[in-house]
Amino acid sequence: MTKIDKFETKLITTIKKYKMLSGGERVLVALSGGKDSVALLHSLHRLSSHLRIELFAFHLNHGIRGEEANADEAFSRDFATKLGIEFLSSYVDVPARLTDTDAGIEALARDIRYKELERIANQLKCHKIATAHTASDNSETVLMTIARNSNAKGIPPVRDNIIRPLICHSTDEVLDYCARQELSFVTDVTNSDDSYTRNFVRHNILPRLYELSPSFDVATHNFANIQRSNSALIELEAKRYYEHNEKPMSLDSLIPLASDIAFYNVLYYVLNKETGTAISYSQFDGIISMLTNGRTGQKIKLSNGSFITRGYNELEFSYPKEEPLDYEFPIKLGRNPIPDSDLVLWLETPTEYIQRKKENELKSLKVNKLTKNILIKYNIINPSLIARSRRSGDSYLCRGITRSVKKFMIDEKIPAHLRSRIPVVCDSEGIVWVAGLGTADRIKNADGDKEAYSLSVDFEKTDC
């Protein structure tokens, strides 16, 4: 039996603490070839029998560093192959895509990386995706978010199907492990470029903080955990707010929140969710003033070009015109992200639904008249079940009335900017369900002897 290294013992402790794995999973490991991902894949490989997991490795070539990036891919392939782990890779020309987005190259590369990881994980039927974020990465993230006046919740150890087994390990611990196990790794030359914010923090700020507090990584890990706990409590209070206010954006409902400093963060959370964008604290102060002392018709412009207006009886939102989304994909059991949105469609058994919501019950609240978690039980699963965007002429029989989907959405007061993002679920006979509206009557009357499943929709914010 392989003797377990102290690094691996700590990894097992982290996995158990955050319930990352339960045994029997197929795990896709993000392998860049750098020290962190090499240490992660190697340690998980050595522990695979103990953890009862099957490993796969994936490398994304971002097309940023030419031949050096190709060499990193070759190194990663060779490393995984020598361990006997199936290796897959993708090439995406990230710089070429910068012209189509306002995001920086770091943010764009991260977004593409996660999308590719999800695609490959679905292809391989992997249950979990393991990334090599460390405690040092978390410290950098906390400092960066504080500097940007954002909620410093850090990098979560677990987010949906993504796990971070090294989140309690420091960079020094990773380097020590690589030395003990005689592991070679590649070094990205861009990591020394301080024009990247993260590199600047890593090279110029963190070393000084480590001098003041050698256990700074532990402190930021604990701080981020407390922040996530606080955020969960705020979400719980927001849930109660929505449950007790039929018209959550009415002035009668909002002014008491604005007048009590104990509920400022709840109000901030509610407004961020309602507007669909991050509100700066200076804008938030303006909204507070507008609520308590403002005049009817007063407006505040937000960063996404939308406006909050003080109406006669409620806050009103106006949104910039957006190009409608056009998507279609087959629905698989489990998690189905909606392209270019923070909506996720779930298909699961009612038992799985209840368990998932029990583990993360604080996500259940209403936003923009669209209930985030809608349990729809139906007893026919058609192999050709798809999710797609709304199309001109869509209509279906629901609650005894045949109406267009557009009319349904207008009646339910679903904002125009959300309508093309809301999934329309169809089988070979037509519409089964539209999230936020209702199930087709033909599904409700289907054969009751068939196994029941549930469809639900969540809003998910993916910061890390």
Q: What is the pTM of this model?
A: 0.63
Secondary structure (3-state) at 247: coil
- Hey, do 6-221 and 245-318 end up sharing a CATH topology, with the first three levels equal? no
> Among candidates 139, 302, 313, 312, which has minimal Cα distance to 218?
139
The two tokens of residue 399 are 């609650």
pLDDT for 411 equals 74
pLDDT for 214 equals 92
pLDDT for 126 equals 94
SS (H, E, C) 48-93: HHHHCCEEEEEEEECCCCCHHHHHHHHHHHHHHHHCCCEEEEEECC
Q: Where are the domains of the chain?
A: 6-221, 245-318, 328-459
CATH number corresponding to 6-221: 3.40.50.620
- CA 344 vs. chain centroid, Å, equals 9
- 464 residues of the chain, pLDDT tens digit each: 468 899 999 999 999 999 999 999 999 999 999 999 999 999 999 999 999 999 999 999 887 777 888 899 999 999 999 999 999 998 887 776 665 555 566 777 788 889 899 999 999 999 999 999 999 999 999 998 888 766 678 899 998 899 999 999 999 999 999 999 999 999 877 777 777 788 888 989 999 999 999 999 999 999 998 988 888 888 898 888 888 888 888 898 888 888 888 888 888 888 887 776 778 777 888 888 888 888 888 888 887 677 888 888 888 877 666 566 788 999 888 888 888 777 788 888 777 777 776 665 444 443 344 444 445 555 555 667 889 988 888 998 887 888 888 888 777 766 666 677 788 988 888 898 887 777 788 776 555 555 667 778 876 654 55
- Express the helix, strand and coil content of the chain in percent, nearest 5 each: 45, 20, 35
pLDDT for 366 equals 39
DSSP state, residue 205 = I
pLDDT for 316 equals 82
pLDDT for 150 equals 64
The two tokens of residue 352 are 């799985």
Sign of CA dihedral 249, 250, 256, 261: positive
CATH, domain 245-318, list 3.40.50, 1.10.10, 3.30.465, 3.30.70? 3.30.465
**Which residues on neighbouring strands pair with residue 137, listed in sequence order?**
none
